[in-house]
Amino acid sequence: MTIRHLLGLYPDAERAANGADALRQAGVPQSSIEVLTDTPYPEGAFGEPPAQHRLFVFPFIGAACGFAVGLLLTAGTQLAYPMPTGGKPILSVPAMIIIMYEGTMLGAIIMTVLGIIFESRLPRARLGTYDPRISEGYVGVLVVDEDPVVGRAEQVFRQSGAEVIREREPED
């Protein structure tokens, strides 16, 4: 089956939301519809379900890794070159806590950023079906599906006031 990409550009969010509703009513599955904007809208503004993601797992993994590295670094270096100081323990825990804390936070931050990029489905080598007018306030409604579904979407775009309809080269 041929997969087609069709983008409808609407001049404002209201018409785009109506267009997206009309697509769903015409039987276009939600998984085939993407709304492209240049600014964040409240979740569900275009009738889309809440985004499923696991972003909150990433900081915990990063924090655990950072903590482990901090522990290894501080304990390992003190044990590798022991400096007995007045009969005190070789491992100086209060000092270790500071570096382990920084390691934990660094790991959490780095993994959060990686998580954001990963969960946002980035990086993308190619933009795909896109129109630069989206960055000027147009709202793009993108349908990626098999030929008959996209054919129905094209009709919906025309009826619901899409100002521009663009299609990418079909791919098999």
Partner 1 sequence: MQERHVLTEREINRDLLGFSLTTPRNFWLAAIPLGLMVALMFSAVGYMIYWGIGVTGLNRPVMWGFMITNFVFWVGISHAGVMISAILRLSHAEWRRPITRAAEVLTVFALATAALFPLIHTGRPWRAIYWVFPYDFSRGIWPAVRSPLIWDPSAIFTYLTGSSLFVFVALIPDLAVARDNSVGWRRTFYGLLSLGYRGTTRQWRLQLLAGILLSALILPVFVSVHSIVSWDFGMSLVPAWHVTIFAPYFVIGAVHSGVSAVVALMVLLRWAFHLQAYLTPDHFDAIGRLLIAVGNTWFYFFWLDFFFALLAREPDEVAVWELRLFHWPYNVLFAIFLITAYFIPVPLWLFRRVRRSIPLMLLTSISVNIGMWLERFLIIIPGLQWKQPLTFNWFGYRPSIVEIILVTGSFALVAFGVLMFSKFFPIIPLFDIKEGQKLRHDLRIGHRQVPGVIRE
How do strand 139-146 and strand 33-36 relate by DSSP bridges?
Answer: antiparallel
32 in contact with partner 1 (CB under 8 A): no
Within positions 112 to 171, which residues make up the interface with partner 1, using CB under 8 A?
A: 112-113, 116-117, 119-128, 130, 132, 134-137
84 in contact with partner 1 (CB under 8 A): no
Distance of CA 41 to the CA centre of its chain: 15
With respect to partner 1, which residue has the nearer C-beta, 135 or 155? Answer: 135
In terms of DSSP H, where are the helices of the chain? 13-25, 57-80, 93-119, 147-159
| Candidate list 1, 25, 42, 171; residue touching partner 1; CB under 8 A | 42
57 in contact with partner 1 (CB under 8 A): no
User: What is the C-alpha to C-alpha distance for residues 161 and 19, in angstroms, rounded to an integer?
Assistant: 8
Q: How far is CA 51 from CA 44, 46, 66, 97, in A?
A: 9, 13, 28, 37
Within positions 1 to 20, which residues make up the interface with partner 1, using CB under 8 A?
A: 13
With respect to partner 1, which residue has the nearer C-beta, 117 or 148? Answer: 117
61 in contact with partner 1 (CB under 8 A): no
Which string of b and e fits 81-109 if b means at least 16 CB within 10 Å? eeeeeeeeeeeeeeebeeebeebbbbbbe
The site that binds partner 1 (CB under 8 A) totals a number of residues, namely: 61
List residues near partner 1 by CB under 8 A. Answer: 13, 34-43, 45-46, 48, 50-51, 53, 55-56, 59, 73-74, 76-78, 80-81, 83, 92, 95-96, 98-99, 101-103, 105-106, 108-110, 112-113, 116-117, 119-128, 130, 132, 134-137
